[in-house]
Structure 1
Amino acid sequence: MVTEYGQGYGLHSTPPGHPGRTGERRHRVPAALRAPVEGRVWRELTYVLLSLPISILLFTYAVTMVSLGAGLLVTFLGVPVLAAGLAGCRGFGALERVRARGLLGLDVAEPEPLRMKRRGFMAWMGAVLKSGASWRALLYAVLHMPWAVFAFSVAVTVWSVGWSLLTYPLWFWVLPMYAGQDGIQLYGDGQHQIYLDNPFEITVTALIGLLFTLATPWIVRALTMVDRVLVHGLLGPSRLATRVVELESDRGAVVDTAAADLRRIERDLHDGAQARLVALAMDLGLAKEKLREDPQAAAHMVDEAHGEVKTALRELRDLARGIHPAVLTDRGLDAALSSVASRCTVPVQVEVDLTERPASAIEGIAYFTVSELLQNISKHARATRATVEVWRTENRLMVQVEDNGVGGADVSGGSGLAGLAERLDAVDGILVVDSPAGGPTRVTAELPWRVERIVTG
């Protein structure tokens, strides 16, 4: 969860499960008793029942098209037939994702699209055959049919037995009246027959039916868990494709962050040091003109210009420190974080437990993360003390900033910590914020541990 200082402090939230919490409803009937009549169970049962005819149709289509295509590979027709079969499996996969989303509540993203370098039937055919999603859809068609047969048999048997036995007291009279027997026959041969026909046996039968009925939702749910795994694993995007999408998103975040930093630097230069240097040049020009006429006035103007030079140098030094502080490059995180902690408005205790330095990029992100968090503490937290801890755990660099402020931050986005989370995510990092109402606030940043690569040539 990512939260931001300055928003939500002092707000009182209703705890989960509270009767007054919006969107939650208290049930007097236990979940185990109301499960057989809940809509979710009936949707899952419907999914299992529909899986049998759909899987038979999909299996028949897939096996027929692949077998026909493989048999025709000796001719020019085999490849198009095989490509058409795989394309049809992809189409069935899309329908299966829609069915899983509607009945199981399983939202699976579409697999990676076909990558075609050029247009045309030949390019499309090659893209279908090269796509891993096409072959995963074919594998789904082959594997899902035997599982659908098993799941259908188990679900129908358990459901029908449960409800028929549970309602046995309501319809047992049908057997002696129309079937010519006293009740449900448990055993029978030429000499002995055992029927469920007395009140005690009918009651026990109904109780056994109740147990089956109560167990049916959980059995059906267990069966659909396998369907969830099949749909998610074979009809969704591959791990590699998902990782590529994440990297593309992270690259965009890095580019946006770099562009924002460049705009900030340009604005600071334009509004700060550049403006002072322009004024300094004008003052020195005026002092040059007055040097012969009024040396004292010229000396006074030069003295003022000297003060402007000092101010401009200080602003340039601060700007350079904001880009990448020299103390971080020269002495590492311990000295750099101690320096930034000394500028915080509250006392900050810094503890850095590192035996070696990480890569400069990771080190810089850790530094700026702590710097922005301490700025947030100075501006919003109303704290009296804070701590900064940095340590290494296996291949991860851990950074934790804690304060005893008012806490209570409970938002999922914003401009401050949301930007930090994006910057950390760009390097496979994580930002976790724990800020209950009344404090304390603890922000933990987790970064990958990378060492500097030395390139020799």
Structure 2
Amino acid sequence: MTPEQRQLEHPRPHPARTIGYMVLSFVFRLVQFVLIVTGISVGVGTAVVWVGFPILLATTSFIRWSADRERGWAGLMLRVPLPPVERRAYDGEPVLRRWLIRLSDPTTWRDLAYLMAAFPLACVEFAIAIASIVLLPMAIWVTPWLGWLHGELAIALLGPNRTRRLEQKAERLQASRARGVDAAEAERRRIERDLHDGAQQRLVAVAMSLGRAKAKFDHDPEAVRELIDEAHSDAKLAVSELRDLARGIYPAVLGDRGLDAALSAQAAKSPIPVDVTVNVEPRPPAAVETTAYFIVGETLTNIAKHSGAKEAEVKVWRDDAHVVVEITDNGHGGAEMRPGGGLAGLADRAATIDGVITVVSPVGGPTVIRADLPCEW
């Protein structure tokens, strides 16, 4: 995973949260370090007389308990994505057997490695956090990066092991592929419905008008002229509907001139003012452009219908690995991603290329809808 992808999954924390984490963690880490080192030292030293085994058992339990607390604490303060850890089961086993299972569990040793590394780091972070309270630039720029780096350490040692991470990635890919298939099937049904209800009926009307004109060709020229005029009008409407349908599948302006021109054309049709900024050079793959185009189009339509917004802003930019689409409006907010809803449809469309949709919409607004679309998959 590239650094850019890592930062999308694990964003930098807020400076105030980072400073609070560094200051408060110092006390916890000091207690943890003293208890763990003392427990291991005393337990190993007295193991020959069996007294050390209960001490080592208690120390092992404390290590696992402390690591679980660290997972929740880091997730809350540093925005670190740390799912609950999966440990080896030992229900119904004798006490000594439980302890041996814990010792043979790699997660226990990764927990210990993190807790031992966290204390010296806490000393440095505490000093930096105290300095950051006085030096505002350090608080704004330096501490979030330190918090992000600490979060990366937590992910490496407290997160799932490599095998489990690969399994989770495979599960996400399988889910995204399934959602992609569902989205494609829904799109197919929409195209089929539009063809049946629109252009197909127009063409049937053309055929019927021409058939009636053919029957009257020899004895009623005036009626033939009217029927041909009617068929001509229906044919033009069918061509227009087919053109609109084709534009809905893949707009010509997108293929010819790229996202900037295509999104600007969308914004020009919006009933509310929309400011568009696009910087995606080098040009992303066609699948990414198409996904971004339809996400913006459907979002602007929803904004105009439901948000009560007076204006909106569309920003699209590219880093090395992703195209990021961000749509903001000043409406009343309260948008949610509900199953079967419009935002869920956007998420399904993004999932076809392993993209992710994020919605931030507090009551009262503003609403920000962000799509992170990978350029490689």
**TM bucket by the smaller chain?**
0.5 to 0.7
1:430 aligns with 356
For the residues of structure 1 that align with 2:160 and 2:282, how far apart are their CA atoms? 41
Counterparts of residues 11-22 of structure 1 (less than 5 Å): none
Q: Which has the higher helix share?
A: 2
2:308 aligns with 382
Cα deviation, residue 439, structure 1? 2.2
2:265 aligns with 339
Cα deviation, residue 325, structure 1? 0.8
* Superposition misfits of 4+ residues, deviation over 6 angstroms: 48-51, 144-147
Cα deviation, residue 393, structure 1? 2.9
The alignment status of 1:262 with 2:188, answered yes or no, reads yes
Aligned counterpart in structure 2 of residue 303 of structure 1, from 225, 229, 240: 229
The alignment status of 1:52 with 2:65, answered yes or no, reads no
- Cα RMSD (Å): 4.1
The secondary structure found in structure 2 opposite 1:420 is helix
For the residues of structure 1 that align with 2:266 and 2:55, how far apart are their CA atoms? 63
Aligned counterpart in structure 2 of residue 401 of structure 1, from 317, 324, 327: 327
1:78 aligns with none
Higher mean alpha-carbon deviation, 429-438 vs 323-332, is at 429-438
Counterparts of residues 121-200 of structure 1 (less than 5 Å): 141-142=103-104
Unaligned runs of 5+ residues in structure 2 are 1-27, 29-52, 73-82, 89-99, 113-153
C-alpha contact (below 8 Å) 1:362/1:450 kept by paired residues: no
- Deviation string 1:294-331 (CA, Å, 9 cap, x unpaired) is 11111011111111111101110110011111111111
C-alpha contact (below 8 Å) 1:273/1:316 kept by paired residues: yes
The secondary structure found in structure 2 opposite 1:349 is strand
Q: TM-score, normalised by structure 1?
A: 0.49
Q: TM-score, normalised by structure 2?
A: 0.59
Cα deviation, residue 426, structure 1? 3.9
- Deviation string 1:117-136 (CA, Å, 9 cap, x unpaired) is xxxxxxxxxxxxxxxxxxxx
For the residues of structure 2 that align with 1:351 and 1:146, how far apart are their CA atoms? 49
Q: 1:273 to 1:142 in 2, by over 3 A?
A: same
Report which of the two structures shows the higher radius of gyration computed on alpha carbons: 1
Q: Which structure is richer in relative contact order (CA contacts within 8 A, separation 6 or more)? A: 1
Q: 1:49 to 1:441 in 2, by over 3 A?
A: farther
Q: 1:375 to 1:50 in 2, by over 3 A?
A: farther
The count of aligned residue pairs is 258
C-alpha contact (below 8 Å) 1:399/1:444 kept by paired residues: yes
The letter of the residue matching 1:326 is A
The letter of the residue matching 2:347 is A
Counterparts of residues 6-405 of structure 1 (less than 5 Å): 52=57, 107-108=84-85, 141-142=103-104, 233=160, 238-405=164-331
Aligned counterpart in structure 2 of residue 417 of structure 1, from 343, 347, 352: 343
C-alpha contact (below 8 Å) 2:85/2:160 kept by paired residues: no
Unaligned runs of 5+ residues in structure 1 are 1-31, 33-47, 56-95, 112-137, 151-225, 452-457
Cα deviation, residue 145, structure 1? 12
The secondary structure found in structure 1 opposite 2:218 is helix
The letter of the residue matching 2:255 is T
Calculate percent identity across the aligned residue pairs: 48
Cα deviation, residue 392, structure 1? 1.6
The letter of the residue matching 1:362 is V
For the residues of structure 2 that align with 1:110 and 1:329, how far apart are their CA atoms? 51
Q: 1:416 to 1:278 in 2, by over 3 A?
A: same
Q: 1:403 to 1:361 in 2, by over 3 A?
A: same
The secondary structure found in structure 2 opposite 1:292 is coil
1:441 aligns with 367
C-alpha contact (below 8 Å) 1:52/1:145 kept by paired residues: no
For the residues of structure 2 that align with 1:306 and 1:145, how far apart are their CA atoms? 74
